[in-house]
Amino acid sequence: MNDLRREVRKKIENGEFNCEKELTLSIISGKWKITIIYYLGTDGTLRFSEIKHLFPKITHKVLTTQVRELEEDGIIQRRVFPEVPPRVEYSLTELGQSLMPIVLMMYEWGKQNLKSFNK
Amino acid sequence: MNDLRREVRKKIENGEFNCEKELTLSIISGKWKITIIYYLGTDGTLRFSEIKHLFPKITHKVLTTQVRELEEDGIIQRRVFPEVPPRVEYSLTELGQSLMPIVLMMYEWGKQNLKSFNK
DNA sequence: CTGAATCCTATTTGATACTG
DNA sequence: CAGTATCAAATAGGATTCAG
């Protein structure tokens, strides 16, 4: 769905309208992004390895690209500690924080409607 | 991103937790879905051709699959009128209506943060 | 520990043409 | 008008390996 990301940014540059919802969607779309945002929003700060631990099935590379895109979008902050071995901590930016209400609402909606989908 | 759709449904069947947010995301993910939901939520009922008209660039086939998936997820209702030429009208179900606050929030967030992304 | 580079595959979207 | 079928293109996600 990163097609959306690029496409929406292009639309914005061109001053096209009607892409506000797509903008928001394009940011949180990605198999792990909302959950990453959710955890960072509730836990505060997490190391790369801690996030990786939260998703047993995520690949190293995939996590890297997901956080990188979120960083590009200004949603999360990446702080590198010049140590050996390296330590990298991620946290929500203010912009990312402002996304939390939406994420929480999605969480609530999902919780309330889980049964409907459990055939 | 319909990979998510299938995957989340499987998780739900297996009684796995922590997929509430993904459930919500999996429903609205898709290049045109939130916008379709948005229009149906504000305009009420729309014919297939009317929706198609709203998205000059959408393909016949793609629109078909998007509405079909939304229908499968119980978000929209499809009413077929046995006429010639055929008429098919789409509208939000109650479940779909309950999604509107989220869609509207995404709209607002996008509107307020458009500038941040317009470098 | 974090992450970069490759390579590979499944999925999604799109183009096009055909049907009742 | 609405929908289907087929085929092609793009890309997101994953497996694996190497590096500082």
Write the residue in B20, B73, B106 that is nearest to A25 by C-beta: B106
pLDDT given for residue B6 in this prediction = 87
Task: Look at B114 and A20 and tell me if their CB atoms are within 8 Å.
Answer: yes
Among the listed residues B73, B76, B69, B66, the one whose alpha carbon sits nearest the alpha carbon of residue B96: B76
Cis check: omega of the bond before A85, within 30 degrees of 0: yes
pLDDT given for residue B17 in this prediction = 67
Average pLDDT over residues A34-44: 95
Closest-approach nucleotide to residue B90, Cα vs C1':
D2
What do you get for the CA distance between the two ends of chain B, in Å?
27
pLDDT given for residue B7 in this prediction = 87
Average pLDDT over residues A65-77: 96
pLDDT given for residue A49 in this prediction = 96
Distance CA B117 to C1' C7 in A: 33
A98 vs B95: CA distance, rounded Å: 26
Write the residue in A9, A102, A116 that is nearest to B106 by C-beta: A102
pLDDT given for residue B19 in this prediction = 84
- Which residue has its C-alpha nearest to nucleotide D4's C1'? B61
Give the DSSP letter of residue A91. E
pLDDT at A2 over 80: no
pLDDT band at A37; cut points 50, 70, 90: very high
State chain A's mean pLDDT as an integer: 92
pLDDT given for residue A66 in this prediction = 96
pLDDT at A4 over 60: yes
pLDDT band at A119; cut points 50, 70, 90: low
Instruction: Supply φ then ψ for residue A47, to 5 degrees.
Output: -80, 165
Average pLDDT over residues A88-111: 96
Q: DSSP labels for B69-88? A: HHHHTTSEEEEEE--SS-EE
Q: What is the pLDDT along chain B (119 residues), one digit of tens a residue?
A: 577 898 898 888 887 767 888 899 999 999 999 999 999 999 999 999 999 999 989 999 999 999 999 999 999 999 999 888 899 999 999 999 999 999 999 999 999 998 888 75
B22 vs A32: CA distance, rounded Å: 8
pLDDT given for residue B1 in this prediction = 58
Give strand pairing partners of B87: B81
> Is the CB of B35 inside 8 Å of chain A's CB atoms?
yes
Task: Look at A35 and B23 and tell me if their CB atoms are within 8 Å.
Answer: no
